[in-house]
Chains A and B, each alone.
Chain A
């Protein structure tokens, strides 16, 4: 028992200053503390010794743990006992210890110590010279020092955890003691201490009990989940989530694993196995879509790779594929299909219409994607055809689910020639917007006609200066300006 405690002690106190000596000197314990102490004491030192001196004193000068240091510390601790706290405590909404924990009252009865005001308790302890936590430890014989270690109460242990000091948790063996430790750590808002206790609890409690107790302790539970996530203890985490009835989270967690599967066929099979999981809300449908999409991508990829290699299809030679379509988002896949498989009958897997149907892609979305793909190929006939619709009298009219302004934008980004742009700029209904776009894309005719329609003589005359001298546009403007029949507004 004694020995195991000592081992535990070494465990939490990796050596500090004698870095590569690998001996287990007792004074390891104090090292960390003194580093901290040194930082803390810089303020006062600064005031006393002036700016030039503090560097020497704190880091490289005086050997830490020397007499003068301990004197200072003792002095400080004596002061502390009778000083009033400088700042008031404010209530942070951690569950009160008594409420969340059934065992506490019992154990506290036996110990006869007041709970709650743990700071008070700690101060009491500090006042007691035999329990001073700092330098005196260095000078104590080994045996006495070990007795001290085992004497730390739950409050003191959590305090030490917070300060990053060595602790031994092995003495907290009853469930009540363990939970008290956990609740104290939670009350201290120190995630590091909470996790340290949780690691100990995980090692010394069976899953059922641990999970049960965590359920009523949300803060600790979150820390535990985060610890397991970071430590990649997937299986235990899944068990925990299921035990808590958080099946949707468990499902997401399991689904997430697909990222670790590189082979597309294995990934597809994995996704298929995920379909039976209990997802929340819409998520199930999305996983279904994810699976269907990958399945389809695998088929398309195999066929297209073959077609590309055999060189039978012109489009693959003219526009070699830059990357495989596997694992691309749905819209990228649709774009790909619009690019390489635009005119295929709806029955094939790679037909854009089939993709649209299967994944219920909105008209607007489909239109945007198809437009961009056909424009990229500079297939202006296909582009033109997309807008055609006939009314009941059989007249054809250009219609678009997208604003024509946006259409122009997409076409222009795919470097459509002015001839093509002009047609769509002309369809923008708002005159101001139309003129703006027409000027930007140098569609002179539209600018001129719009000004004519607006009967804006001044603007037209102004625009004459912008067109090339002696060009057809200039002549057209001159004609209009000299036209007597137009009733200009200015």
Chain B
């Protein structure tokens, strides 16, 4: 980062503790308890194993449990006697046990729990690795993970707390807070030195705009294109320039990555070439060395340089590959459309761009993303609804009827009363859509489907910087740099404002537009004001948001630790709402 960070930023607590904790528990569960020596992936197919004891380590999903029941019943039918054990992680659900009972295998199968709540992905990112949280909670309205989130928070509280202040916004945040509070009260508490001072809980549905935007900071871009899984990315042959793919851990241990991860992509090449020059200079040092110096060089520096060299060439190839892919899909034009939508400018042009995108059957998820972005920024698809939604199904298949029903429920694709400017045809179709179905659906899910007031929020919080000023991406002046200076992520802006004001005072209008459910509470145990802030995203957060928070931290002398139910991006968000998984 080009600008100088504040020096008084506090040190982050050591999160690797979490890893050791769960690792030891798992080892204990597997080895000491059951003498497990081999692991298989659970799929719906017979298990070929001569072992007479089988142990399954699974998420508490009814479907998976049903598969296991099939395995057990098949074994029984074949007269095979085995013993089965299911270890649910992070916890078991009664519904899963009910399946075991219904399928008549309860007793044949015993169960256990592995309390694996938190996976530290990096020194400032912790993931619950529960991508299903988003769909279960926000689409189905199922609160099964609320307790899980509360327990995760409780674990952090008992290791790094006590927390002194908790802020939050969103229904799920409120429930998570309550669940955590009850767990705190039921458990014992010991006065210890707090390492995390403040906590901020935020629901994903507070801000759908940000995750729908194309990411342009390096880490986000890598996630959009190559998909980072558990902090690990697989670079294919087009990056490695061999016929093999390689898996790379992406975190602060990678010195090269650590310097470019939060950078706007336009700066990355400059950074990398500067780095390459430095490396050359470092290599060149060995010229003119005497034997003794050379010996020191080889033993002390060479290994580090070689490592850096390898990482450097990897990230250069990855950047090249990103450039190639993005040029191919007219990224420039796509970004222009997104920025216009965020700004509320030239909407007609944006609409025809989206329509053409759909007509040409270019990437389905991309089209859906643009449609949703249009809907949440404009709060209605009044102008293009008739053409585009129908067009979408024509281009990508009739089964998207169900996808649209999901999007409607979630408020991502809201259809509104047609305006006056509509053509006869458009308003006719409009009326059809706006009949009681929509009303009923919205009623039924009134708590979930909410109107977006993005335009008003954007004005209120100055989310879109004035476009007439030149924005120097090398010297970012605010969090908008993560979207090329076009937009400050709503979620992060709210966090900034609340921390600045130490509460929600003065933000009444904002919370009203977001649909309320905000809270700010102070613990009875007076804690020192600590500038280490835990931000918990319920329903997922993007790498861009993490970059924005890191920037904010540097500006204000905070350190953020992001806890998320999963790392998300536009594709993951929308794929979770397609209807092919249930």
Contact = CB atoms under 8 A, between A and B. Distances in A.
Interface of A: 11-12, 14-17, 19-20, 22, 32, 35-36, 39-44, 46-47, 55, 58-60, 76, 79-80, 83-90, 92-93, 119, 161-162, 164, 188-196, 199, 218-219, 222-223, 225-227, 229-231, 246, 248-249, 252, 255-256, 259, 280-283, 285-287, 289-290, 293, 328-332, 359, 361-362, 364-365, 368-369, 372, 402, 406, 410
A462 to B, nearest CB: 24
A36 B405 CA distance: 40
Nearest to B142: A226
- Contact residues of A: prevailing secondary structure: helix
Contact of A223 (B141, B401, B405): B141
A47 B178 contact: no
Contacts of B434: 281
Among all A-B residue pairs, the 4 with the closest Cβ atoms: A280-B437, A191-B144, A191-B143, A43-B158
A326 B5 CA distance: 60
Nearest to A187: B178
A286 B432 CA distance: 12
- Contact residues of B: prevailing secondary structure: helix
B401 A283 contact: yes
Nearest to B61: A230
Interface residues of B, number: 103
B115 interface: yes
A44 B440 CA distance: 51
Interface string B522-544: 01110000000000000000000
A230 B391 contact: no
Contacts, number: 256
A96 B107 CA distance: 39
Interface in B417-442: 429, 432-438, 440-441
Given A19-B34, A255-B401, A410-B360, A42 B187 contact: no
B252 to A, nearest CB: 22
Nearest to A248: B437
Interface in B92-143: 92-95, 97-99, 101, 106-107, 109-113, 115, 136, 140-143
Contacts of A246: 440, 444
Interface in B350-402: 355-356, 359-361, 387, 389-391, 393-399, 401-402
Contact of A281 (B106, B435, B519): B435
B398 A76 contact: no
Given A15-B110, A55-B24, A192-B144, 16 more contacts: A14-B106, A14-B111, A19-B33, A19-B85, A19-B110, A42-B159, A44-B188, A88-B524, A119-B182, A191-B147, A192-B147, A230-B62, A259-B580, A362-B391, A364-B356, A364-B359
A281 B525 contact: no
Contacts of A192: 91, 93-95, 144, 147
A9 to B, nearest CB: 13
B179 A369 contact: no
Given A14-B106, A55-B24, A189-B143, A231 B429 contact: no
Nearest to A364: B359
Contacts of B25: 39, 59
B521 A55 contact: no
Contacts of B523: 86-87
Contacts of B397: 328-329
A230 B63 contact: yes
Contacts of B144: 190-192, 195
Nearest to A32: B113
B29 to A, nearest CB: 9
Contacts of B24: 55, 58-60
A280 B436 contact: yes
Nearest to A229: B582
A365 B391 contact: yes
A12 B106 CA distance: 10
A69 B83 CA distance: 31
A424 B136 CA distance: 51
A76 B94 CA distance: 28
Interface in B533-582: 579-580, 582
Of the candidates A80, A87, A331, the one having the most CB atoms from chain B within 10 angstroms of its own CB is A87
Given A219-B143, A365-B391, A12 B94 contact: yes
Nearest to B91: A164
Contact of B437 (A87, A256, A281, A293): A281
Given A20-B53, A190-B146, A223-B143, A35 B159 contact: no
Nearest to B108: A22
